[in-house]
Amino acid sequence: MLAGMARSRPIVRLRDLAVGHQGDFFALLAEKTRGRTRDSKAYYLCRFRDAGRVVSYMAWADGPWFEACEHDWEAGRFYKLRATFVEHERYGPQLDEIVNIRPVADADAADGFDPADFVEHARRPAAEMFAELRTILETHLADEPLRRLTLALLDDHAGPFQRLPATRDRYYPFAGGLLEHTLSVVRGCLDLGTRYRAYYVELRPPLNLDLLLAAAALHEIGRVLEFDDEAPLPGFTIPGRLVGHLVLGRDLVREKARALGDVNPELVALLEHVLLSHLTLPEWGSPRLPLIPEVVVLHHVDDLDAKLEMYARCLTRDTSAGPFTERDPALGRQLLKGRGV
pLDDT in tens, 86-143: 988 777 889 988 999 999 999 999 998 988 778 788 999 999 999 999 999 999 999 9
Region(s) of the chain under CATH 1.10.3210: 126-314
Angle between helices 177-199 and 126-140 (to 10 degrees): 20
Which class would CATH give 126-314? mainly alpha
Q: What is the mean pLDDT of each run of 10 residues along the chain (341 residues)?
A: 57 91 93 91 93 90 95 92 89 89 94 84 94 98 98 97 92 93 98 98 96 98 93 83 96 98 98 95 83 97 97 87 87 91 92
Residues of the chain with CATH 2.40.50.140: 14-118
Fold of 14-118: OB fold (Dihydrolipoamide Acetyltransferase, E2P) (2.40.50)
